[in-house]
């Protein structure tokens, strides 16, 4: 038995890299980067989650598996000096391709998204509204037993609806609070329907973290960012494993909860709003409180409905394409079979 396992172990760095889970060709890597770019674009919009995009593009389970590959077993192999075996078991090729797409989109579209939401809020939110409505249908399709999942669906709707309506609070910049905020923000980023940036704003840490990122070498900022990053790492590794376990053992209930979260978050992406209170943070105006209103009839309403329809159709096309390409969600075990 031992001799058989020895024969399948990678013998070099290149072989270990090639057998690790991830895209099998440059074309696959390019497609994965495009999906990452779509996730990054969604993450810079308050109220829209990159996790939603991961789901409709068919890589949500793969993403959770990739994050969960950084576990105690991998750490044990690393500490025992089994470097090539460690590399072969990690989903680095998947995460690197996806990460390049996410990072590139965040760096290139953050300013554009801010300008669109500031100058043309209704058309922009209308497009995202159409995207989210179609995404709800795509995710909801995974619910096999609607009656059994109804309690979790309602819980998700109520929870997300309440969260996106919270008023930002002021919290101290103590290490424990910053660490906790990092955990909460990163968990929201991988949950469909919830925005990590928006939760940071609610927790009163958006200005603190963005300010530290802009001036990392100012006194105390490096320590602050290190504590925040540690919270993100712990939250990401821990929460992804919990989600993965829930999807494997309680998929129907989990899918009902995720669908409910997306429905409840519609409160945030409703295009027509009346702003009640704003605040200037680092020279940019952020909305603290707003209320949804009904639209007025006219040409602008037709434009908004047209853009919502475009977003709706775009998601359905992406879902069809992902299924056609065979990139629908898969269990972790399947990812290791090569």
Q: Following DSSP, what letter does each residue of 131-146 receive, concatenated?
A: HHHHHHHHHHTT-S-H
User: Could you give the CA distance from residue 122 to residue 287 in angstroms, rounded to a whole number?
Assistant: 15
120's CB contacts (< 8 A; 6+ apart) are none
Q: Report the pLDDT value the prediction gives residue 7, as an integer from 0 to 100.
A: 42
Report residue 9 as tokens.
């172990």
Q: Report the pLDDT value the prediction gives residue 328, as an integer from 0 to 100.
A: 41
Contact call for residues 61 and 331 (beta carbons, < 8 A): yes
Q: How confident is the model at residue 297 (pLDDT cuts 50, 70, 90)?
A: confident
The closest of 132, 153, 141 to 269, measured between CA atoms, is 132
Average pLDDT over residues 250-265: 89
Contact call for residues 99 and 23 (beta carbons, < 8 A): no
Q: Report the pLDDT value the prediction gives residue 46, as an integer from 0 to 100.
A: 63
* Helix intervals (H) in 164-291: 175-189, 196-202, 206-214, 221-249, 251-264, 266-269
Whether residue 136 is predicted with pLDDT greater than 80 in this model: the reply is: yes
User: Could you give the CA distance from residue 239 to residue 184 in angstroms, rounded to a whole number?
Assistant: 10
Lowest mean pLDDT among 113-117, 229-233, 255-259: 113-117
277-281: long-range contacts at Cβ-Cβ below 8 A with a sequence spacing of 24 or more?
279/168, 281/206, 281/207, 281/210
What is the percentage of the chain residues whose pLDDT exceeds 90? 8
Q: Report the pLDDT value the prediction gives residue 266, as an integer from 0 to 100.
A: 85
Average pLDDT over residues 10-25: 75
Find the radius of gyration of the CA atoms of the chain. 21
Q: Report the pLDDT value the prediction gives residue 179, as an integer from 0 to 100.
A: 93
Whether residue 257 is predicted with pLDDT greater than 80 in this model: the reply is: yes
Four-residue CA torsion sign, 252, 254, 257, 262: negative
The closest of 328, 190, 175, 170 to 258, measured between CA atoms, is 190
Q: How confident is the model at residue 3 (pLDDT cuts 50, 70, 90)?
A: very low
Average pLDDT over residues 42-62: 77
Mean pLDDT of the chain: 79
Residue range of the domain that includes 294: 2-335
Whether residue 168 is predicted with pLDDT greater than 70 in this model: the reply is: no
Q: Report the pLDDT value the prediction gives residue 90, as an integer from 0 to 100.
A: 86
Contact call for residues 198 and 167 (beta carbons, < 8 A): no
- pTM: predicted TM-score of the whole model, two decimal places: 0.73
253's CB contacts (< 8 A; 6+ apart) are 148, 149, 152, 246
Q: Report the pLDDT value the prediction gives residue 284, as an integer from 0 to 100.
A: 61
Instruction: Please report, for residues 67, 72, 73, 84, the alpha-carbon distance to residue 80 in angstroms, rounded to integers and kept in the order given.
Output: 21, 12, 11, 11
Sort 165 into a burial class: Cβ within 10 Å, 0-12 / 13-18 / 19+. middle
The number of distinct structural domains making up the chain is: 1
Whether residue 11 is predicted with pLDDT greater than 70 in this model: the reply is: no
Q: Report the pLDDT value the prediction gives residue 283, as an integer from 0 to 100.
A: 60
Average pLDDT over residues 272-276: 81
* CB atoms near residue 229 (< 10 Å): 14
Lowest mean pLDDT among 3-12, 61-70, 93-102, 121-130: 3-12
Which position has the higher pLDDT, 46 or 234?
Answer: 234
Q: Region of 83 please: left (phi>0), alpha (psi -120 to 50) or beta.
A: alpha
């Amino acid at each position: 038995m031992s001799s058989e396992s020895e024969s399948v172990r990678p013998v070099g760095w290149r072989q270990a890299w090639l057998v690790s889970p991830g895209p099998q060709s440059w074309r696959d890597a390019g497609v994965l980067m495009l999906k990452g770019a779509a996730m990054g674009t969604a993450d810079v919009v308050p109220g829209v989650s990159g996790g939603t995009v991961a789901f409709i593009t068919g890589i949500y389970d793969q993403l959770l598996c990739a994050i969960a590959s950084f576990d105690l077993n991998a750490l044990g192999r690393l500490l025992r000096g089994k470097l090539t075996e460690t590399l072969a078991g990690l989903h680095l090729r998947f995460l690197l391709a996806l990460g390049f797409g996410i990072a590139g989109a965040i760096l290139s579209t953050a300013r554009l998204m801010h300008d669109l939401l500031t100058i043309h809020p209704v058309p922009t939110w209308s497009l995202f509204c159409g995207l989210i409505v179609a995404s709800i249908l795509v995710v909801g399709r995974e619910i096999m037993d609607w009656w059994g999942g109804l309690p979790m669906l309602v819980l998700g709707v109520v929870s997300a609806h309440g969260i996106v309506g919270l008023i930002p609070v002021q919290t101290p910049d103590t290490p424990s609070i910053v660490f906790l905020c990092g955990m909460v923000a990163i968990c929201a980023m991988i949950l469909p329907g919830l925005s990590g940036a928006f939760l940071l704003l609610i927790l009163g840490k958006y200005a603190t973290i963005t300010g530290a990122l802009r001036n990392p070498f100012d006194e105390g900022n490096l320590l602050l960012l290190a504590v925040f990053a540690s919270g993100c790492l712990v939250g990401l590794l821990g929460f992804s494993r919990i989600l993965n376990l829930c999807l494997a053992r309680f998929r129907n209930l989990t899918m009902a909860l995720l669908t409910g979260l997306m429905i409840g978050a519609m409160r945030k992406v409703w295009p027509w709003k009346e702003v009640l209170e704003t605040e200037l943070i680092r020279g940019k105006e952020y909305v603290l409180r707003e209320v949804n209103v009904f639209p007025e009839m006219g040409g602008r309403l037709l434009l908004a409905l047209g853009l919502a329809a475009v977003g709706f159709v775009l998601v359905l096309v992406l879902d069809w394409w992902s299924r056609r390409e065979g990139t629908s969600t898969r269990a972790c075990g399947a990812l290791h079979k090569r």
